[in-house]
Each structure stands twice: as structure tokens, then as C-alpha cells.
Amino acid sequence: MVNRASAHTYFVAASTLLGAACASDASDTAALEAASPRAVAPSSEALELAMPERGFQVESDGVWIDPGDDVRLCEVLVLPSVGVGGDDRQLYYVNRIQGALFSHSEDLIVRAAVPGSDTSAAMDKGAGMQCTRAGEAFGEELSDVLRSPTRYADERFPSGVGKVFQAGQKLAVEYHVVNDTREPVLAKAKLALHLVDAAEVQHRAHMATFENFTIYTPPYGRSSHVGECKVKQAVNVSDLVRRTQLFGTAFKVWYAGGERDGELLWDSTTRQQTRLTLTSPLQLQPGEGFRFQCDYENRSARELRYGVSADDETCSLDAMFWLTDDADEPLAEDCLLFKVDSDGIARPHW
């Protein structure tokens, strides 16, 4: 059972909007920064994020999760409004986003509500609830901001690329919590947004998620599943993220379509290899994309299928991209796979 599910509030470290750096960075965060910008968080209960030199933080009050509970939470955070009376016309230009979850949590997904939309109106500040996904909880007028299979994320956008938010904009924060202890644990999310001048964001970053729902592994068995998704418009891809759970083993990505069809791009052999940052952006034309394979070893007596609990599995490839021509209207590049073709590859059918 989830305790105090409606007790969420948000906290804004607004002083950093003036560019003042925080002098008391937590030691575990300092170690993370020193190790790698893509480091995985340690297992400490309270993970702190260093205050941006220019930017702000938002966080939830938290929800207590009872022993033995396995839940997915959706929370609402609100970006600060600044100026006399709260100027909701101000834009925030962001070139780096950090995210952190307390222990026993993982698979952080952050989405932004379209300002003025019905979804935004349905998202009460500080709201929190159990959910399957944020779109079902609040509405579908959401755009992806951040995805991380681990409890610490550090999204650093390429030079000239970033996200643009509106003051007062609402964010849906979604993550998975498993309390395998004998005591209640606190589930909590925190974000740090690093600001830059408007001129430094020439291209707006977008996220695409490719999900293979056809996965199945028998008890004590092994399985391998291949899916294929292609883009609808010309895009530049800078990062790929793997999302599998406890029983995921190997994860591979190939080019699909075009002259490089079938060329291996990424071979991730463990769950710890969650991200590929390309040395130079990968340019995809309409009809080109990715073929990706998820392998599993089921060490349990139950059947393993796609789902959101700790007893389930996922098979997802996330891609961060921006449009070749920002004057174009971004199309929804998400790809959901429900059917396997005769050649053994799952493809979208619409």
C-alpha cells in the first residue's frame, strides 16, 4: 500500500536563477560528477544534486511505500514562475537536465504538459498517484523530456541543442518503486535544470521511444526478440538508451533501411551499459531507423512478459534527436510493436 499518496508538494531552489552557485554539494554527487557525466547513482538513501550555477531545482515531498509494495508512481512538478505576480510568458532555455530518485526506485521518465492543454489543466500541482504511465494518469498531451533506466540521470545536450520550457509549465514525473525491505521507504524525485542564453539553443531536442510488446520468455527459459522502427522525417540522433529490467541480458542495435541497413551500431552486453552517446550525430532520412534486439534469461518459475512491475520485463530503445530543419513541425516518432512478421521481426502496423 502507498502511504500519503496525495501529500506531494514541490520545492523550487529559485535563488539559482540569479546564477549563484551552491557551496554545499553533497559528497555522493561530487563523486558522481568526478567519475562520469553518465554515472550511475550509488545506493545511498538520499541522493542530492548539486545546485546549478545558473538554473533551478524542483522536487516532490515524497510518498512512503510500505514493505513488499511494487508500484509505479506518477507525480506532478511545476516549473517556477518568476517576475512580479509570476510571469508565465518567460521561457527557460535548458542545455542540461539532471534527475535523481531515492533508493529502491528506477526507470525515471519525465514528460512536459503542453501549456494551456486539457492535460495541463488536469495536472494539479503536487498531485501523485499510482499509475501505469503518465499519459493514462493525466492525459496524452505530453512531450518527453528525460528517460533513464537508472535512478540517476544526467542529460547533457549537444552544442546548440536543448529544451525550451515555459515558466509555470507542468511536468509529469513517472518512476518505479520496489520496497523489498521490512520498513517503509520514501519515494521521491528531484530534477535540476541548467539554463543557458536563448542563442545557445538553436535546435530543440526531442525523444522517441521504440517499444516491443511482443516479448515472452518461458519459466527458466531464454528468449531473443527483434523489433524495427523507422522515422517519418529527417532527424539527427545523438543518444540511444536501452531499457530492460532484471532479466535482460544482451541488447543490440542495427541500422534499418538505407545504405547502412543491417550494420551493427551498438552491442550492450549488460544492463549497466544503458546508454550510447554517438561521437557525431547520426543523420536519418524518412524510412530509415533502427532494428533492436532484446535478450532475456528467465531465472524464475513464472512466465515473463512485457509489463511495469518488478516481475515483468521491458524491451525499449529510446532515441534523443532534433530535426534537420527546425521550421518543420515535429512528428510523433514513437513506435509501438505488437505483431511479429513472418521473418521474426516485430514491426508497426498502422
261 and 288, same domain (yes or no)? yes
44, 47, 68, 215, 317 from 295: Cα distances, Å: 30, 31, 28, 9, 13
Which of 151, 181, 200 is the C-terminal boundary of a domain?
200
pLDDT at residue 260 in the model:
95
pLDDT at residue 270 in the model:
87
225 and 172, same domain (yes or no)? no
Owning domain of residue 292? 206-346
Q: Residue 117: how many CB atoms within 10 A of its CB?
A: 15
Cell 486539457 appears where?
118
The answer to whether 177 touches 66, Cβ cutoff 8 Å, is no
243 and 95, same domain (yes or no)? no
The answer to whether 133 touches 10, Cβ cutoff 8 Å, is no
pLDDT at residue 18 in the model:
38
173 and 51, same domain (yes or no)? yes
Q: Which residues pair with 269 in a beta bridge?
A: none
155 and 230, same domain (yes or no)? no
pLDDT at residue 311 in the model:
80
Q: Does an H or E element contain 34, and which? A: helix 27-35
What's the pLDDT tens digit per position in 42-81?
A: 334 556 788 999 999 999 878 899 999 999 999 999 999 8
58, 187, 299, 319 from 29: Cα distances, Å: 17, 19, 34, 26
Which of 170, 185, 200 is the C-terminal boundary of a domain?
200
Q: What three-state secondary structure class fits 268?
A: strand
Rg (CA), the chain: 20
Which segments in the chain show pLDDT lower than 50? 3-44, 83-87
pLDDT at residue 45 in the model:
55
The cell for 6 is: 496525495
Residue 31: burial class (beta carbons within 10 Å; 0-12, 13-18, 19+): exposed
Q: Residue 37: how many CB atoms within 10 A of its CB?
A: 12
Burial 193-204 (b: 16+ CB within 10 A, else e): bbbbeeeebebb
pLDDT at residue 7 in the model:
38
246 and 269, same domain (yes or no)? yes
pTM of the model: 0.81
pLDDT at residue 127 in the model:
84
Interatomic CA distance for residues 187 and 2, integer angstroms: 10
The cell for 325 is: 530543419
What's the pLDDT tens digit per position in 134-167?
A: 888 898 999 999 988 888 999 999 999 999 999 9
47 and 174, same domain (yes or no)? yes
Interatomic CA distance for residues 273 and 179, integer angstroms: 24
148 and 218, same domain (yes or no)? no
Total domains present in the chain: 2
134 and 80, same domain (yes or no)? yes
The answer to whether 346 touches 212, Cβ cutoff 8 Å, is yes
179 and 45, same domain (yes or no)? yes
Which of 78, 97, 193 has the alpha carbon at shortest distance from 138?
78
122 HSE (CA, 13 A, CB side): 16
CATH of the domain at 262: 2.60.120.230
